[in-house]
Amino acid sequence: MDCEPAISPYDLLFQALALIPVSHYFLAAFSLLLVFLYNFLEIHFFHDLLTLFRGDAVTLTYNSSSDLGRSVAAKCKILQQRYLVTPWLSSPHLQTAFLTFHGRPPPVTYRRHLFRAFDGGTIALDWLSYSDVREGASALIDGSTAHKGDKTPIVIVIPGLTSDSTATYVKHLAFNLARQGWNVVVSNHRGLGGVSLTSDCCYNAGWTEDVRKIIDHIHCEYPEAPLYAVGTSIGANILVKYLGEEGANTPVIGAAAICSPWDLLVCDRFINRRPMQKIYDRALTVGLQGYAQLHQSILSRLVNWEGVEKSSSVRDFDNHATRVLGKFETVDTYYRRSSSTNYIENVSVPLLCVSALDDPVCTSEAIPWDECRVNENIVLATTPHGGHLAFYEGITASGIWWVRVVNEFFGVLRTSPLIKRQKMQGCPVPKPLQSSIDQAPYLNVTGDGMVTAMGNEPRDALQEDTLTEHTIHGKKDEGTISDNRANFELTDKMNSDEQIKQQVEKNVKDLIVPVQVRIDKLSRRSRQSIWLLAYIAIITTWPFVGSIIVSVLKKRFKTLIPGTLFRK
């Protein structure tokens, strides 16, 4: 009997697979792709379905004995409630991408002023007020937002890396604060906001000098207005570092740090760890290279330009440019010295910190939980989801959760007894030495669309124009012009001398009054101490001194009175 040839099991398997419709294979491949993307993009849609009507709990970390946590944070209803993520943005990467590429920013009208630093650098300050929001325009115009003596609170916004006042999240924040009646000013980093670099100095993650000068200047210009500050991403790191450096000397009375990297070295390790994070690293690098290209004429002679162009990561860029400009020995030295974790313990003003545990850029591993818990001036709010600066909420993703949190926190803080108006200080820098905000900035637009600052016409030039106008229309002679010029100079000198005299008298009075009070207290205590010491001396020495006095009296009276009287 002939044996039938054995059939290979693989042949049977292939025959069986061939019987399956091709559409089923496409369906299986599509399912596998969805599973891969669900895990790769860290989508938490099914988790959101379970908590659709509840949302994510907000965890508050603060000192148990902190009045800020027990009184201010407890009154913030948004912090006590849950954060409900937009269902179709159930991923930190989807949230961050939506914020970056679309974000639905509200229309705003900034009023631009230019601030000139001591080293010649130019910083664009974009103001937004309630009247600007009410008008509803969406253009950048020049003009004054606040006036001397205005008591409307001012919020200073410090954007993130390569971000400026046009960023979506900045517009959301500025619009919502201005709509509540706050004056908002966005302090753009050097070289951003459409303004060219006008000095050899650039900003970095630990550069606090610009923020310090801006805050001092605004406090000097509007001494009656309470100052608040908000920092986002790298801007949050700069803000916290500044607050730690200044301690109680800052004029800021309340602040918020949103999605801060905290420890730059930890974040650098994190962003180079997984494939998804490397995408963010590359995107940030492209942004930094674009910033460098805008200012190639200056940066090309200060840094390793070839290395900047070939940089494949933020660390490479920092090694070839940021480290060199900041005069740091190594990149790790730059990261360590610029990290705000080193300064948290010295923060002396109420500070709200908001972070998402799934932040794809600023990892939760860098959050300084213990340091925030020790400092009584800090409240740390964390959510399981939110992405990097996104935190979109609602079905339509029309609002950003942390923007509402900051708005409410500042509102509660403003009426809290913890906030006491600080004693008004004089201008930290003599005004004539500082190129302050231009009242009507003169701009020079270059061919590439960048804007460079040109100083305002000096006061003497304006006076010359005034005199010339009088000469033309009034037909005054040269003698009259000289007299007018002399009158201008004499008036300015008298006004200057009078202001200096008043300032000196005020400073002397401010110095003498507390000294006199302390001297009076010391004198009263000294007199009391002298009488007490005299009493103690008399009591302790009376037996000895008394015997001496009695013996002396006996001898004196014995010579004056006849001796028979002393005989027995």
Which has more confidence, 204 or 444? 204
Strand partners, 125: 113, 187
125 — pLDDT class (breaks 50, 70, 90): very high
- Cβ–Cβ under 8 Å, residues 192 and 163: yes
172 — pLDDT class (breaks 50, 70, 90): very high
| Most trustworthy range by pLDDT among 3-12, 323-332, 413-422 | 323-332
568 — pLDDT class (breaks 50, 70, 90): very low
Across the range 543-548, mean pLDDT stands at 59
Q: How many whole angstroms separate alpha carbon 41 and alpha carbon 513? A: 65
Q: Is the pLDDT of residue 128 over 50?
A: yes
Q: How many whole angstroms separate alpha carbon 163 and alpha carbon 143? A: 23
Across the range 355-378, mean pLDDT stands at 96
487 — pLDDT class (breaks 50, 70, 90): very low
Across the range 415-422, mean pLDDT stands at 72
Element (H, E) at 110: strand 110-116
Across the range 19-32, mean pLDDT stands at 86
pLDDT of residue 145: 54
Element (H, E) at 333: helix 331-338
Q: Is the pLDDT of residue 259 over 90?
A: yes
pLDDT tens digits, one per residue of 190-215:
999 999 999 999 999 999 999 999 99
- Cβ–Cβ under 8 Å, residues 141 and 111: yes
Side-chain-side CA neighbours of 532 within 13 Å: the count stands at: 6
Positive or negative: CA dihedral 72, 214, 511, 502: negative
What residues act catalytically? 233, 359, 388
Which has more confidence, 89 or 255? 255
550 — pLDDT class (breaks 50, 70, 90): low
Average pLDDT, the chain: 79
pLDDT tens digits, one per residue of 453-483:
444 333 333 333 333 333 333 333 444 434 4
Q: Is the pLDDT of residue 429 over 80?
A: no
Q: What are the tokens at 153?
A: 């609170």
- Cβ–Cβ under 8 Å, residues 45 and 37: no
394 — pLDDT class (breaks 50, 70, 90): confident
Q: What are the tokens at 122?
A: 């130019």
pLDDT of residue 439: 36
Side-chain-side CA neighbours of 184 within 13 Å: the count stands at: 33
7 burial (CB, 10 Å; 0-12 / 13-18 / 19+) is exposed
- Cβ–Cβ under 8 Å, residues 393 and 98: no
Q: What percent of the chain is predicted at pLDDT more than 90?
A: 54
435 — pLDDT class (breaks 50, 70, 90): very low
pLDDT tens digits, one per residue of 269-283:
999 998 899 999 999
Backbone region of residue 487 per phi and psi (left: phi > 0; alpha: psi in -120 to 50; beta: other values): alpha
Q: How many whole angstroms separate alpha carbon 351 and alpha carbon 243? A: 9
What letter does residue 19 receive in the DSSP assignment?
T
355 burial (CB, 10 Å; 0-12 / 13-18 / 19+) is buried
Q: What are the tokens at 553?
A: 């009296």
Which has more confidence, 334 or 24? 334
179 — pLDDT class (breaks 50, 70, 90): very high
3-class SS of residue 129: coil
Q: Is the pLDDT of residue 519 over 50?
A: no
444 — pLDDT class (breaks 50, 70, 90): very low
DSSP letter string, 268-289:
HHHHTTSHHHHHHHHHHHHHHH
- Cβ–Cβ under 8 Å, residues 149 and 224: yes
pTM score of the predicted model: 0.73
pLDDT of residue 240: 98
- Cβ–Cβ under 8 Å, residues 229 and 255: yes
- Cβ–Cβ under 8 Å, residues 352 and 407: no
- Cβ–Cβ under 8 Å, residues 257 and 367: no
- Cβ–Cβ under 8 Å, residues 62 and 372: yes
How far lies 393's CA from each of 74, 89, 476, in Å?
22, 9, 69
Beta strands in 404-513 (DSSP E): 442-445, 451-454
Out of 17-21, 324-328, 349-353, 388-392, least confident range: 17-21
Report which of 191, 201, 203, 204 is spatially closest to residue 295, judged by C-alpha positions: 191
566 — pLDDT class (breaks 50, 70, 90): very low
pLDDT tens digits, one per residue of 94-109:
999 999 998 889 999 8
Q: How many whole angstroms separate alpha carbon 553 and alpha carbon 533? A: 27
Strand partners, 56: 83
pLDDT of residue 70: 87
Across the range 383-403, mean pLDDT stands at 94
Task: Name the packing angle between helices 168-179 and 92-101 (round to 10°).
Answer: 80
Residue in the structure block whose two tokens are 């700069």: 238
Across the range 253-257, mean pLDDT stands at 97
pLDDT of residue 476: 39
Q: Is the pLDDT of residue 486 over 50?
A: no
* Angle subtended at Cα 46 by Cα 41 and Cα 47, rounded to the nearest 5 degrees: 90
Q: What are the tokens at 111?
A: 């009023």
Out of 50-64, 77-91, 201-215, 352-366, least confident range: 50-64
- Cβ–Cβ under 8 Å, residues 201 and 119: yes
pLDDT of residue 511: 44
- Cβ–Cβ under 8 Å, residues 454 and 114: no
The dihedrals phi and psi of 122, each to the nearest 5 degrees, come to -115, 130
CB atoms closer than 10 angstroms to residue 470? 14
pLDDT tens digits, one per residue of 284-299:
999 999 999 999 999 9
Q: Is the pLDDT of residue 436 over 60?
A: no
Report which of 137, 112, 252 is spatially closest to residue 192, judged by C-alpha positions: 112
Task: Name the packing angle between helices 209-221 and 234-246 (round to 10°).
Answer: 70
Indicate the residue type of 151: K
Q: Is the pLDDT of residue 48 over 50?
A: yes
